[in-house]
Amino acid sequence: MDTRPKDAPLPYYEQPSPGTGSLPARAWYATSDAARHDLGGTWDFRLSPTAEGADTGFIADDADLTPNEWTRITVPGHWVLQGHGAPAYTNVSYPFPVDPPRVPTENPTGDHRHVFDLPADWPAGGESVLRFEGVESCARVWLNGTELGTFQGSRLPHEFAVGPLLRPTGNVLAVRVHQWSAGSYLEDQDMWWLPGIFRDVTLLHRPEHSPADFFTHAGYDHTTGEGVLRVESGTPGTVTVPELGIEIATGEEVRVPAEPWSAEHPRLYTGELATPGERIPLRIGFRTVGVRDGLFRANGKPILFRGVNRHEFHPDTGRAVDEATMRADIELMKRHNINAVRTSHYPPHPAFLDLCDELGLWVIDEADLETHGFCYFPDWRGNPVADDRFVPALLDRAQRMVERDKNHPSVVIWSLGNECGAGHGLGAMAAWIRERDPSRAVHYENDPTYRDSDFYSRMYASHEEVERIGRRAEEPLEDPELEAHRASLPFLLCEYAHAMGNGPGGLSEYQRLFETYERCQGGFVWEWIDHGLPVQTADGEPYFGYGGDFGEELHDGNFVCDGLVFPDRTPSPGLIEYKKVIEPVTISGDSAERTITIRNGYDFLGLGHLSFGWRYEAEGVLLASGELAVPEVVPGATAQVPLPEPPAGDAAGEGIWTVTAALAADAAWAPAGHEVAWGQIVDSARPRVAPSAGAPTVAARREGTTWTLGSAVFDAASGELRSLGGLTLHRGPVLDLWRAPTDNDEGMAWEEGTRLAQRWRELGLHRIRHRVDAVGADGDTLTVRTRVAPAATDAGLLAVHRWTATGEGELRLEVEVTPEGDWRVPLPRLGVRLGLPAGLGHVRWYGGGPGEAYPDTRAAARTGRWEATVDGLHTPYVRPQENGARIDVRWAELRERPGAQGPGLRLTAGERPLMFTARRWSTEELDAAAHTPDLTPGDTVWVHLDADQHGIGTQSCGPGPLPQYHLTPAPVTFSVVLRVLGED
Ligand code: IPT
């Protein structure tokens, strides 16, 4: 048997060093006049279960690709998403035994082979390089039978000089890719493990006298309004920017009046670097960034990051993301007022940064580095960032990122990586970066001394902690020098507001803190997209799967679905909320004072690019509208504008002005008319009139086993409403406390070490019992007294339901709830639920909308008249959970047909507007579902009318709801009028 001698060197894939044979890193650029040839396409492929089980005969010209071993695969792509092996998801845990730099013998290995001809016009002379933009996790490369080298560093470019090996036709490129390598220890990011050649493979001609590399330094002097340009190039040449009349030699500096680049106004100047061998288009954005006087500034001004963490993800192709998808991401971000991206947790495809330059986003470019799985060992024992053997690989990761991306104006901060604890390897990276590119700031979060960081950066800190840091009242570090350093830094939340499932809650309150405390320069929501992968039920119904759906023995479930957009990039309610919370213009007002206050929250822009409009609605019906003249307002300032007169006359219903700010002209990322911001102002002169308690029209009568109240029939034993004016109820309104726990309800409270949902279940809130204490007439009122409680506890809620008939086919229900006993947990919800016939599938309502909203996720809910189907009210979270509530609902109608048509039921809230939810499955069915196809419509539309719900918070990873959003059991009374609607 073949065994490796004990002291033999480790194979290349287990070497902690970054590899052999590749060229020094250099700047990426999309085009030049040098020839390039894309090698992507369909390649030959063979998967082996181990690193060395298969021979390397496939590198030969005349290799015999045995048909039952070899198949075809798309490059770029991941083999596990193309039918070979399976994806696997772990968050923190390494999915293999931890013994760096060794990896398991079971090491899926993909042999890739591609035969290509050189384009007929491929230039003679010069050099040609073979470039890989990304291969996970380790590759060994041969061209025409000659080994070029090996490399690790999955999300980094690697180039090999291949000129002398090329032939006009029949070039055989062979790439062996191992899923696991020593590099895997550095790539423990929270995402799917997806091996493969997942980014472009390109053959690039390097003409003689073309620059080996170049570095564009384009600063902006805000004191003079000048751009300062210097381009360094290995090969001397000329730099021209015709629009600015610039023509300089490389290495020479020029200052010219210019417009600055910012994420808000991404002004790019087109230029060219011409050396004798190559002409390279330049896209120059003049900006100067850095930390000065404790604040991160761009062009002299402190900026506020309204950011998001972006992983590269497409449900069909994993981290092989095409340019259209990248552009779609950025457009969607810009349309939702996002101004910054942290490229969590690796450098993105380089084309993404070109798009950020062009469309305008501030970028924290993060090195391909995370060693989080070592946190499970005492003091992070074995952590590669504190291990000399890995330092060259760490430096390589810093260098390849910086060299590749250094010419992008959008990149303003280099981040050393994510969740690596502390170690001297990080210090080495920071030192190298600072030396090579002092023009940008450096970020690292996970070392509490921040010795290598220009930011005091935290993730998932509570509002309270952020406030403390904002006030500069944080607990000092012991070491005075480190304390002085940290105290000098601006504060960032590099991750916050974990967008898993329903949520995140509490965004508005974070934003207030960012706006209040200068030191708090904003944050980056975790994260952009749910990484759900498409799967199908046995009968072909498609849905999105998550960890554990692919046979993984170790996985972290749906923690991989925690984005602001669903896997198919449909915005989730969390994104709509974020857009509202971070809107760059805030519109408020006072109807008594007759003013609208408009605040410009941009860092650089005025308001000239926006057009303002207003509408006046009475109970959601438009009465008047117009344009609003708004004077120019400088960033940070406010203007007062007179509120348009409310229309005369006495149209019924609550009066509300809605003021909007929309793009006046097309932007690169959205068409003219795109709404950027809005605000509503309630007309104090025309308040809502709640339905009066009304004089009861008929008396309650007992008839056998029923009670009747006009056209309403009640069950005499349970007190439940059975029918009203010919409409049969499947379930009468009964008190309800339970909701299908959200991912945040299921999240671990960091301080207490318990999960709210678990406490709810331990108390039995999912198996509540209703004891009927009395059903009887009390004059014109039918009173139903119940005690609602789970088994095994003496905590309960006394609920008194008072029914009166208030008109033909109309009933008023008042519910008075009094808690008794020892309630130690907040309630999930407090309201009534009723079951209606499935035919009532169309909903119209007046209240908060159009999307779902909860007490701490309600900024984006605007008051108006809205319409949806019952199916359309449902939010399809990848893991089903409580969703779809509409807040502050004054009335809702459920009908058989769209519009104000068809028979149905109208529900009108009393003094207190209610939360309204309608769905085709019960809370219990929603709670039991693990994937969307587990939800199947039954014969009932379940309607919830809640006085309140517990807040949402962001405890799936972070703090729970703020105290003011806890639904603490307390006496409450709410009422609703039910009226049967005829065919009208
Ligand atoms: C934090 C990670 O940085 C991020 O990659 C992701 O895993 C996120 O959590 C949760 O989805 S680390 C966490 C321990 C705070």
- Whether the Cβ atoms of residue 308 and residue 564 lie closer than 8 Å to each other: yes
Q: Which domains does the chain have, with CATH numbers?
A: 12-206 (2.60.120.260), 214-288 (2.60.40.10), 291-540+549-579 (3.20.20.80), 596-675 (2.60.40.10), 700-981 (2.70.98.10)
Residue 566 in contact with ligand 1 by CB distance below 6 A? no
Residue 1 predicted with pLDDT over 50: no
Residue 746 in contact with ligand 1 by CB distance below 6 A? no
CA terminus-to-terminus distance, the chain: 86
Q: To the nearest 5 percent, what fractions of the chain are helix, strand and coil?
A: 15, 40, 45
Cα–ligand 1 centroid distance for 436 (angstroms): 29
What are the beta bridge partners of residue 329? none
Residue 370 in contact with ligand 1 by CB distance below 6 A? no
pLDDT for 192 equals: 98
Please report, for residues 683, 685, 853, 882, the alpha-carbon distance to residue 865 in angstroms, rounded to integers and kept in the order given: 17, 20, 15, 23
Mean pLDDT of 710-738: 96
Q: Both tokens of residue 700?
A: 């309650």
Instruction: Give CA–CA dist 244/489, Å, rounded.
Output: 36
Q: Ligand 1 atom 7: the closest Cα is on which residue?
A: 190
Among all residues, which ones are annotated catalytic?
A: 419, 495
Residue 462 in contact with ligand 1 by CB distance below 6 A? no
Look at the block and give the residue holding tokens 């991750």: 495
Residue 560 in contact with ligand 1 by CB distance below 6 A? no
Q: Both tokens of residue 238?
A: 């000329």
Farthest-apart Cα atoms in the chain, separation: 103
Cα–ligand 1 centroid distance for 156 (angstroms): 22
Confidence of residue 691 (pLDDT cuts 50, 70, 90): confident
Mean pLDDT of 659-669: 98
Residue 4 predicted with pLDDT over 80: no
What are the beta bridge partners of residue 734? 833
Which residues 6+ apart lie within 8 Å of 772 measured at CB? 717, 718, 719, 784, 785, 786
Confidence of residue 519 (pLDDT cuts 50, 70, 90): very high
- Whether the Cβ atoms of residue 716 and residue 775 lie closer than 8 Å to each other: yes
Confidence of residue 750 (pLDDT cuts 50, 70, 90): low
Look at the block and give the residue holding tokens 């019960």: 922
Q: Which amino acid is at 94?
A: Y
Give the angle subtended at the CA of 951 by the CAs of 950 and 956, to the nearest 5°. 115
Q: Which run of H or of E encompasses 513?
A: helix 507-516
Residue 418 in contact with ligand 1 by CB distance below 6 A? yes
- In ligand 1, the atom with minimum distance to the C-alpha of 91 is 7
Q: Ligand 1 atom 14: the closest Cα is on which residue?
A: 957
pLDDT for 751 equals: 64
Which value, in Å, is the radius of gyration of the alpha carbons in the chain?
32
Q: Of all residues in the chain, what percent carry a pLDDT higher than 90? A: 95
What are the beta bridge partners of residue 147? 142
Q: Both tokens of residue 252?
A: 């020479």
- Whether the Cβ atoms of residue 108 and residue 47 lie closer than 8 Å to each other: yes
Residue 41 predicted with pLDDT over 60: yes
Cα–ligand 1 centroid distance for 506 (angstroms): 18
Residue 190 in contact with ligand 1 by CB distance below 6 A? yes
Residue 361 in contact with ligand 1 by CB distance below 6 A? no
- Whether the Cβ atoms of residue 748 and residue 955 lie closer than 8 Å to each other: yes
- pLDDT digits over 371-407, tens only? 999 999 999 999 999 999 999 999 999 999 999 999 9
Please report, for residues 296, 411, 471, 515, 614, the alpha-carbon distance to residue 519 in angstroms, rounded to integers and kept in the order given: 9, 21, 8, 10, 35
Instruction: Give CA–CA dist 164/156, Å, rounded.
Output: 25
**Given strand 301-302, what is the order of strands in its sheet?**
289-292, 295-298, 301-302
Helix, strand, or coil (residue 507): helix
Rounded to two decimals, the pTM is 0.98
Look at the block and give the residue holding tokens 């751009």: 227
Confidence of residue 2 (pLDDT cuts 50, 70, 90): low
Q: Please give the DSSP secondary-structure letter assigned to residue 57.
A: G
Closest C-alpha to 876, from 513, 501, 531: 501
Is residue 972 classed exposed, middle or buried when 0-12, 13-18 and 19+ CB atoms within 10 A define those classes? middle
Mean pLDDT of 1-28: 89
- Whether the Cβ atoms of residue 358 and residue 668 lie closer than 8 Å to each other: yes
How many CB atoms within 10 Å of residue 284?
A: 25
Closest C-alpha to 85, from 132, 16, 136, 150: 136
Mean pLDDT of 92-97: 97
The DSSP string of 100-137 is TT---SEEEEEEEEEEEPPPTTPPSSSEEEEEES-EES
Residue 424 predicted with pLDDT over 50: yes
- In ligand 1, the atom with minimum distance to the C-alpha of 375 is 14
How many CB atoms within 10 Å of residue 964?
A: 9
- Whether the Cβ atoms of residue 690 and residue 910 lie closer than 8 Å to each other: yes
Mean pLDDT of 151-163: 98
Please report, for residues 546, 550, 736, 740, the alpha-carbon distance to residue 935 in angstroms, rounded to integers and kept in the order given: 17, 21, 21, 13
Cα–ligand 1 centroid distance for 744 (angstroms): 14
Q: Both tokens of residue 372?
A: 């989080």
- pLDDT digits over 440-499, tens only? 999 999 999 999 999 999 999 999 999 999 999 999 999 999 999 999 999 999 999 999
Instruction: Give CA–CA dist 401/27, Å, rounded.
Output: 9
Helix, strand, or coil (residue 451): coil
- In ligand 1, the atom with minimum distance to the C-alpha of 345 is 5
Residue of 634 and 748 predicted with greater confidence: 634
Q: Please give the DSSP secondary-structure letter assigned to residue 757.
A: H
Q: Which amino acid is at 30?
A: A
Q: Which amino acid is at 894?
A: L
Give the phi and the psi of residue 68 in degrees, each rounded to 5: -80, -5
- pLDDT digits over 923-980, tens only? 999 999 999 999 999 999 999 999 999 999 999 999 999 999 999 999 999 999 999 9
pLDDT for 873 equals: 98
Instruction: Give CA–CA dist 87/83, Å, rounded.
Output: 10
Residue 460 in contact with ligand 1 by CB distance below 6 A? yes
Instruction: Give CA–CA dist 445/417, Å, rounded.
Output: 8
Residue 511 in contact with ligand 1 by CB distance below 6 A? no
- pLDDT digits over 541-570, tens only? 999 999 999 999 999 999 999 999 999 999
- In ligand 1, the atom with minimum distance to the C-alpha of 418 is 3
Residue 667 predicted with pLDDT over 50: yes
What are the beta bridge partners of residue 909? 976
Cα–ligand 1 centroid distance for 858 (angstroms): 25
Q: Both tokens of residue 715?
A: 């069950």
Mean pLDDT of 194-211: 98
Q: Both tokens of residue 307?
A: 């950011």
Q: Ligand 1 atom 5: the closest Cα is on which residue?
A: 190
- Whether the Cβ atoms of residue 46 and residue 214 lie closer than 8 Å to each other: no
Best of 92, 189, 190, 312 to mutate for ligand 1, by most ligand atoms within 8 A of CB?
190
pLDDT for 3 equals: 64
Q: Over the chain, what is the mean pLDDT?
A: 96
Length of the chain: 984
